[in-house]
Amino acid sequence: MKASPRQDTKLIALVALIGITMVILLVIVDRWNAAEYAEQISKIHIPPPPPSGAKSITDLQIPDTVTLFGERLPLDNWFVRRQFERDFYYNWNNAYALVLWWQRSGVYFPMIEEKLHEAGLPDDLKYLAVAESGLVNVQSPANANGFWQFIPKTAQRFGLRVDDLIDERLDPEKATDAAIAYFKYMRTVLPTWTLVAAGYNMGEDNVREAMQWQHASSYWDLYLNEETMRYIFRIATIKELMSHGARYGLDFSKLTPYRVPEVKYTTVHGPIVSIADWAWSEGFLYKDVKVLNPWLIGRSIPAGTFRIALPSTDEDRASMK
């Protein structure tokens, strides 16, 4: 039976009403989603406030004299001072990270300081490890790894083993030895330690080339890429804030630095198919071995002789066995 013109009109009106209603609902949902997204983004990009009790940022007195590697930063130059202040305020506002860096330094700075002293290198080079990794084994998108952020090629160049089962970039002591060897080499081709630090960031050959074509003899006269331009200031401000935190409302003396776990060493002869089974046979758990020997990156130990650290007491375990 054919519908009447009146029925056709009602049907068209109903379809139109449904269409309008759907459009309105879609607009409402879209705006709600946009509002939720904006709120999440705002949470991500709002930096955390400084710790309770810290000075107001406008009360901070930026130091007039700062030294790094025994070299005084030329803060009387307007460009240098602006660069320094930018990283100073940024790192001060990142006080939670500074707290963790200071606590971790209790474990690793004594070892790094001793090795630098024995090598006759500036003590301030230890702050490169903080700037590079925060004193934790982290891997970058460029496959740099460990405290000193070596890429595999450079690590192997300075004596570190990097393969599918062993990555000595993750051994703080061996990686520090490699970093010292690298520093020594760069100091033979670059005239100052600030230039060496810049070379550590962008490559010594790139620094030498920039010096040549820019007719510059010091780091402070160079115009480099943004990352390297900020690198020295990042190290300098980290040193200033970690060394003199109380001046800036960061009283690290209230904190307890992390302690060095007591370990004993045992020599093992590989291959060992399962680190977990071997650890269990020794009275430990897989976690104990992996935490104290982060350079063991696989589940097995390859052929060869290796010195493995194990916890000395139950208190020194990483596991809860």
Structure tokens at 147: 């405290």
Domain contains 304: yes
Residues 184 and 282 in one domain: no
For tokens 């930018």, the residue is 86
Domain contains 13: no
Domain contains 139: yes
Mean pLDDT for 245-266 is 94
pLDDT of amino acid 218: 96
Residues 128 and 220 in one domain: yes
| Boundary of a domain, candidates 211, 231, 254 | 254
Residues 112 and 159 in one domain: yes
150: closest CA among 135, 165, 166, 162?
Answer: 162
Residues 84 and 152 in one domain: yes
Q: What pLDDT, in 10s, does the model give residues 72-106?
A: 999 999 999 999 999 999 999 999 999 999 999 99
Residues 194 and 143 in one domain: yes
Mean pLDDT, all residues of the chain: 89
Residues 74 and 210 in one domain: yes
Cis peptide before 271 (omega within 30 of 0): yes
Burial readout 18-49 (b: 16 or more C-beta within 10 A, e: otherwise) = eeeeeeeeeeeeeeeeeeeeeeeeeeeeeeee
Does 139 have pLDDT greater than 50? yes
Residue ranges of alpha helices (H) inside the chain are 5-45, 78-93, 95-119, 126-133, 152-157, 172-189, 193-202, 204-214, 226-243, 275-281, 286-292
For tokens 């007195």, the residue is 61
Q: How many structural domains does the chain have?
A: 2
Torsion angles phi and psi, residue 264, rounded to 5: -125, 155
Alpha-carbon span 75 to 84, nearest angstrom = 8
Domain contains 16: no
Domain contains 321: no
Residue ranges of alpha helices (H) inside 59-94 are 78-93
Q: What pLDDT, in 10s, does the model give residues 196-254?
A: 999 999 999 999 999 999 999 999 999 999 999 999 999 999 999 999 999 999 999 99
| Boundary of a domain, candidates 208, 229, 254 | 254
The dihedral through the CA atoms of 319, 261, 140, 83 has a sign that is positive
pLDDT band for 54, please (50, 70, 90 cuts): low
Residues 273 and 164 in one domain: no
pTM check: above 0.95: no
CATH number at residue 97: 1.10.530.10
Domain contains 10: no
Domain contains 138: yes
Beta bridge partners of 137: none
Q: Provide, rounded to the nearest whole percent, the portion of the chain with pLDDT above 70.
A: 83
Which domain does 306 fall in, by range? Answer: 263-316
Name the more confident of 43 and 204: 204
Q: Round the CA-based radius of gyration of the chain to a whole number and report it.
A: 28
Structure tokens at 5: 């013109």
131: closest CA among 174, 74, 179?
Answer: 179
131: amino acid identity, one letter: A
Residues 234 and 308 in one domain: no
Alpha-carbon span 102 to 94, nearest angstrom = 13
Q: How remote is the C-alpha of 289 from its chain's centroid?
A: 24
Residues 69 and 186 in one domain: yes
Residues 237 and 273 in one domain: no
Domain contains 80: yes
Residues 177 and 310 in one domain: no
Residues 177 and 296 in one domain: no
